[in-house]
């Protein structure tokens, strides 16, 4: 996907990956296109992109530690407006001759900010407001030519040299705890940089469509659908761009959530009229899983089978009516994956590979229409393209599917128990209005049975474990404090409606030390 030539660009220099991503997302929420660049990108290279403005992100370091990240100071003479945030602000102060000192009194959390001089950044804001701070060092002296525009318990909380269009804020305008932060960012983008708010869901779709058409010409394209939002949006975009040249392959492993396969068929075949190959391979997956209880062996067996099935179905596919072999394969790679593989400071987060890993001997050119998009943009584009809410807002789901939530052997009977139980959990969580708030919420089927009593009968059946977590990125997660009455409803429905279940437990383990999935 290409950025359209007439879209204004803001570069976010990465001094700490998580901070940079949030800033870049906020800039895009202000409808201005942004990209993240590693801090050691040569300044000439940055300027060659013709950015309307450059933002230095926060970072975990102190400007005083050895090896603290810096930037080529020639950037300050480029004439391109600069905004430094937190570490970025301290760096500006230090590199241009101000003083940053370890005062021993850092500021963390909600802090009172006082505007002390006029600034375009604070033009429509009250003199006093709460902002979010997180820093140990403090700027005690602004560089020559700069004026201090706000202070907090530290003397300099915002500074600027408006002649050179260099601005710095010690607080984090990008976090929600800084209530007026978005206005401050917008003032920088619109009033200082003169950036135009043209990056919208419609313009994203237009530029993606144009890029896809340019890349694939009249070639045949295939796309593996998983039921998740990324592959669905990628497929819908490619279909909008090249219509019948696209064939989607959906491998139903039999390990999906209840109703998922039907929904994919309903959406892509009947609503979008996409050429869809629906491979019903549940039996094949169950047969390779027979007798397998070790989690890693399970994952491996599913991964290998998936690749084989996909390969068999995809090898000879071409556009409708022809047997031309497809040259292009769609992948739902998102911008955070691109940043993580490209930036030096980014934590290496991705350890899981989707089961839709590719057969190595299949020689495809990749089409990656979501390559520049954040997840929230992917969802917005999905909504704009008319994908159903259930797909657009679906919680993440592991490639190996329900198999990693069935401890012990995966059998048709146990898959069915879990599908039914999972459907109850999802339904109740949605009814309670919590589905979007939770990172994931689902049922797990352990490999034990316990004694119970229903009516006058003694039962000996499976428990269901409910797992619900909040998280930002799945790297860490907290168990969700679900309301008791919701847990109560889920428990009673599971026991009444799902044969084979006589007990319900709630998993109150965070990650770490637990993982989100059970296997």
Q: How far is the CB of 506 from ligand XMP (least distance, A)?
A: 17
Q: Which of 76, 39, 83 is nearest to 60 (CA)?
A: 39
Instruction: Please answer whether residues 277 and 246 qualify as being in contact, where contact means their C-beta atoms are separated by less than 8 angstroms.
Output: no
Q: Any idea how long the chain is?
A: 519
Instruction: Please answer whether residues 471 and 516 qualify as being in contact, where contact means their C-beta atoms are separated by less than 8 angstroms.
Output: yes
**Nearer to ligand XMP among residue 450 and residue 515 (C-beta):** 515
Q: Strand 457-470 relative to strand 478-479: parallel, antiparallel, unpaired?
A: antiparallel
Catalytic choice (89, 160, 172, 239): 172
Q: Which of 250, 238, 252 is nearest to 365 (CA)?
A: 238
Cite the beta strand spans of 333-456 per DSSP E.
Answer: 365-367, 440-444, 450-454
Instruction: Please answer whether residues 161 and 192 qualify as being in contact, where contact means their C-beta atoms are separated by less than 8 angstroms.
Output: no
**Nearer to ligand XMP among residue 95 and residue 440 (C-beta):** 440
Told to judge if 174 belongs to the known catalytic residues of this protein, a careful annotator would answer yes
**Nearer to ligand XMP among residue 273 and residue 352 (C-beta):** 352
Told to judge if 248 belongs to the known catalytic residues of this protein, a careful annotator would answer no
Catalytic choice (35, 107, 160, 174): 174
Burial annotation 27-63 (CB, 10 A radius, 16+ → b, else e): bbbbbbbbbbbbbebebeebbeeebbbbbbbbbebeb
Cα separation of 361 and 173, whole Å?
48
Q: How far is the CB of 477 from ligand XMP (least distance, A)?
A: 7
Cα separation of 187 and 193, whole Å?
9
The burial of 288, by beta-carbon neighbours within 10 Å (0-12 exposed, 13-18 middle, 19 or more buried), is given as middle
Q: How far is the CB of 356 from ligand XMP (least distance, A)?
A: 8
The burial of 514, by beta-carbon neighbours within 10 Å (0-12 exposed, 13-18 middle, 19 or more buried), is given as middle
Q: How far is the CB of 511 from ligand XMP (least distance, A)?
A: 5
Q: How far is the CB of 446 from ligand XMP (least distance, A)?
A: 15
At residue 160, the 3 state secondary structure works out as strand
Instruction: Please answer whether residues 369 and 208 qualify as being in contact, where contact means their C-beta atoms are separated by less than 8 angstroms.
Output: yes
Q: How far is the CB of 149 from ligand XMP (least distance, A)?
A: 43
Cα separation of 36 and 62, whole Å?
21
**Nearer to ligand XMP among residue 369 and residue 398 (C-beta):** 398
**Nearer to ligand XMP among residue 299 and residue 394 (C-beta):** 299
Q: How far is the CB of 25 from ligand XMP (least distance, A)?
A: 20
**Nearer to ligand XMP among residue 84 and residue 398 (C-beta):** 398
Catalytic choice (86, 89, 223, 248): 86
- The residues that touch ligand XMP, with contacts defined as CB under 6 A, are 299, 352, 354, 396, 398-400, 404, 440, 474, 511, 515-517
**Nearer to ligand XMP among residue 107 and residue 517 (C-beta):** 517
Told to judge if 193 belongs to the known catalytic residues of this protein, a careful annotator would answer no
The residues that bridge with 503 in the sheet, in sequence order, are 463
Q: Which residues are catalytic?
A: 86, 172, 174
């Amino acid at each position: 996907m290409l950025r359209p030539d007439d879209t204004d660009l803001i570069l976010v220099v990465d001094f700490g990956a998580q901070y940079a991503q949030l800033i870049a997302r906020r800039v895009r929420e202000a409808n201005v296109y942004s990209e993240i660049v590693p801090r050691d990108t040569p300044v000439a290279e940055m300027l060659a992109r013709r950015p309307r403005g450059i933002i230095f992100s926060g970072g975990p370091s102190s400007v005083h530690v050895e090896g603290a990240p810096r930037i080529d100071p020639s950037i300050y003479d480029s004439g391109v407006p600069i905004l430094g945030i937190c570490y970025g602000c301290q760096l500006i102060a230090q590199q241009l001759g101000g003083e940053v000192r370890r005062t021993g009194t850092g500021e963390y959390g909600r802090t009172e900010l006082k505007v002390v001089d006029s600034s375009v950044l604070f033009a429509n804001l009250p003199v006093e407001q709460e902002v979010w701070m997180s820093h140990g060092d403090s700027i005690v002296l602004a560089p020559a030519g700069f004026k201090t525009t706000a202070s907090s318990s530290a003397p300099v909380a915002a500074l600027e040299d408006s002649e050179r269009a260099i601005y710095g804020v010690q607080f984090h305008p990008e976090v929600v705890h800084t209530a007026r932060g978005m206005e401050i960012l917008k003032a920088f983008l619109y009033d200082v940089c003169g950036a135009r708010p043209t990056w919208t869901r419609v313009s994203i779709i237009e530029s993606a469509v144009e890029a896809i058409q340019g890349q694939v010409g009249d070639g045949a394209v295939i796309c593996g659908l998983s039921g998740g939002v990324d592959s669905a949006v990628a497929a819908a975009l490619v279909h909008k761009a090249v219509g019948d040249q696209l064939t989607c392959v959906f491998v139903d492993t039999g390990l999906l959530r209840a109703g998922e396969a039907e929904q994919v068929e309903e959406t892509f075949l009947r609503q979008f009229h996409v050429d869809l190959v629906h491979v019903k391979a549940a039996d094949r997956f169950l047969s390779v899983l027979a007798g397998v209880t070790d989690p890693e062996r399970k994952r491996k067996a599913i991964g290998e089978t998936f690749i084989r099935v996909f390969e068999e179905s995809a090898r000879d596919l071409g556009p409708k009516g022809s047997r031309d072999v497809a040259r292009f394969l769609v992948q739902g790679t998102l911008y955070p994956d691109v940043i993580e593989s490209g930036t030096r400071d980014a934590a290496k987060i991705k350890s899981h590979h989707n089961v839709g890993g590719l057969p190595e001997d299949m020689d495809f050119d990749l089409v990656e229409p979501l390559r520049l998009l954040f997840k929230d943009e992917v969802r917005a584009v999905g909504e704009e393209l008319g994908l159903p809410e259930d797909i657009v807002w679906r919680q993440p789901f592991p490639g190996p599917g329900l198999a990693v939530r069935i401890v012990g052997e995966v059998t048709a009977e146990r898959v069915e128990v879990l599908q039914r139980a999972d459907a109850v959990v999802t339904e109740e969580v949605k009814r309670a209005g919590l589905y979007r708030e939770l990172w994931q919420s689902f049922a797990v089927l352990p490999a034990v049975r316990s004694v119970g009593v229903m009516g006058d009968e003694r039962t000996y059946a499976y428990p269901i474990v409910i797992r619900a977590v909040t998280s930002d990125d799945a790297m860490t997660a907290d168990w969700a404090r679900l309301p008791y009455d919701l847990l109560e409803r889920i428990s009673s429905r599971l026991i009444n409606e799902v044969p084979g279940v006589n007990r319900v437990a709630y998993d109150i383990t965070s990650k770490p030390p637990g993982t989100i999935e059970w296997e």
